[in-house]
Amino acid sequence: MQDLRQPAHHRSRGSSRLASLFLVLAVMLGLAGGTSTAATDHTAEPARSAIRVPARAMDAVAAMQPSWNLGNTLDAIPHEENWGNPKVTRDLFTTIRGEGFRSVRIPVTWSDHQSATAPYTVDAAYMSRVKEVVDWALDEGLYVVLNVHHDSWQWIKKMPADHDGVLARFNSTWAQISETFREEPRTLLFESVNEPQFENATAEQKAQLLHELNTSFHKIVRSSGGGNSDRLLVLPTDGCTPSQNFMDDLYTTIKSLNDRHLIATVHYYSWYPFSINIAGGTHYDEAARNDLDDAFARMRDTFVARDIPVYLGEYGLLGYPDHNHPSRVERGEALKYYEHFGHAARLAGVTTALWDPGTWAYLNRETLKWTDPALIAWIKAGWTTRSGTASFDKVFVPKSEPITAKGVTLNLNGTRFRGLWHGKTELVEGRDYTLWDKTRLVLTAGALTRLTGDREYGVNATLQARFSRGLPWQIEVVTSDEPVLSDATGRTDAFTIPTQYKGDVLATMEARYGDGGNAGQTDWTPYQEFNKSFKPDYPNDAIVLTPEFLDALRDGEPVTLTFHFYSGEKLMYHVKKSADSVTGTRVTPAS
């Protein structure tokens, strides 16, 4: 994943061991031996691990499910703790194993710990640290995937302009890694490069360059001997993207290598508009569901059905979870994605690795506790079964109107609805709710009157829809009214719109000029990106328009903003920038 790109170009140089340097020079001079294509099957060394690695690659990758990423750590730039996570300890892997994960991917960025000129020596202390972390994970009985990570966009992408230099550095890097880890058990896998990319190149050139990197990686590892002679090797598509043309290219490469110990890898972060909440992607709708189904169908048909295993090296949502910022993705919609993802992966026979950037997302690396246990419960449930969901996880009850019956549509996902609970109390069908055609769940006016109580704005009650299997679906009963926006003045570096939310939740914002053109830094859609162009500030009763959004507006030209809320309410607002000053005016229905 490339979510943090703040490289500080400080390089740590040092001398490598003589044996590593000799192998590097041998590979660069073409003196290394040929490719092994039919190595003898064997199991992992009992002294290192109780895991008996299946001889067949498909079975070995299946045994790695589920998987987890040690993200933003050894791949951080320039050092392990620079992206907000503490130094790794063995206890971390004890925790991960105890939580049911069977493998870990350990991304490593080498460039700041490697000389930038031949022979591209990796600092011995850094190599030792990587090995220490890998060994801890192996000793905990986990499969480990080790790779070359952010190097992909730091220097490998320059291969079109510096073909020989990049290839020599890539080869040297893998020669040193191969030598260091050559006697590790087969529970250690190598991945050639994370999300490879090439600048200023045609599609055909990119395909050829990636083929060259993957085949060179394969030759170097196999030539290094020892446990590397039949180690499972992971090869990526262009950008680790699961597009059909990229997967076809990778399939061609894998078949050409004639090696039954190869694995294909891609990443999946959902349909882009939904994943970051842009272009109106506020719900896990049909477009998002189809994108996921199609991606897994391609993985299955291109690789799995042809006996090539797929290790989906990263998944999640690009904008969720992030406990340091307002949530871009509505919680229930995110849960529907994770539930669907787990089901589709199981159907396709794909092993999946959760991308965990650390403390602000999934696992708090300080406490070794999940930041959001309920979210992890949904992810875990998807490993083995389906759960029922609904069209939304909130029922909005307007305070300014008489209470009437309201409901949601259940997504049974192959389950059977068992009932509705409020705490330990089971609601009564017919009195508290009705169920139409097995899927339309409607709360009666009487039940909503009782549940909303004194009708204070916000969540008044949380219900559980329970199903014949899987997790219950939570439904929040929310008292709300139409939000109120107020006039404001400010500057481009600090402008907020006073907002009375009245229990509602902000979903997205449209921005248009008077001629209908899109306004803001995202010019291909009127729906701007959540947290990048605007964000709610619920504690301070405001909506923040970011400096990036305001700086992108045309000077002196009015812009109409339309704020969409999850209750269905839509409010319009005018802003105009004049130099570094900004004025905002609410639009009333009569104006």
| Residue of 80, 140, 191, 314 marked catalytic | 314
Measuring CA to CA, which residue among 457, 480, 483, 499 is closest to residue 570? 483
Question: What is the number of other CB atoms lying within 10 angstroms of the CB of residue 558?
Answer: 16
Task: Respond yes or no: is residue 366 known to be catalytic.
Answer: no
- Integer Cα distance of 376 and 362 in angstroms: 8
- Token pair belonging to 70: 């040690």
Residue 308, exposed/middle/buried by CB under 10 A (0-12, 13-18, 19+)?
Answer: buried
For the chain, the helix, strand and coil percentages under 3-state DSSP, each to the nearest 5: 30, 25, 45
Closest CA to 390 of 485, 283, 312: 283
> DSSP state, 398?
E
One-letter amino acid of 427: L
In the numeric block, the tokens 């340091």 are attached to 324
Q: Which of 47, 350, 46, 2 is nearest to 196 (CA)?
A: 2
CA distance 85 to 367: 11
What does the H/E/C string look like for 306-375? HCCCEEEEEECECCECCCCCCCCCCHHHHHHHHHHHHHHHHHHCCEEEECCCCCCCCEECCCCEECCHHH
Query: Does residue 45 have an active-site annotation?
Result: no
Helix (H), strand (E), coil (C) string for 177-202? HHHHHCCCCCCEEEECCCCCCCCCCC
Which residue shows structure tokens 């990636």? 210
Residue 59 · residue 52 · CB < 8 Å = no
* Residue 290 exposed, middle or buried by CB count within 10 Å (0-12, 13-18, 19+): exposed
- Render the burial of 183-198: b for 16+ CB within 10 Å, e for the rest: ebbbbbbbbbbbbbbb
Q: Is the peptide bond before 119 cis (omega within 30 degrees of 0)?
A: yes
At 113, list the tokens.
Answer: 């710990």
Closest CA to 102 of 137, 70, 54: 137
For 494, which DSSP code? B
Give the rounded distance of the alpha carbon of 431 from its chain centre: 43
- 394-398 vs 473-480, strand pairing mode: parallel
Task: Return the DSSP state at 223.
Answer: H
The span from the CA of 440 to the CA of 445, in Å, is 16
Residue 182 is encoded by which pair of tokens? 């050559």
Task: Give exposure, 262-279, as e/b (b: 16+ Cβ within 10 Å).
Answer: bbbbbbbbbbebbbbbbb
Q: Which residue is catalytic, options 179, 191, 195, 510?
A: 195
Residues labelled as active-site residues? 195, 314
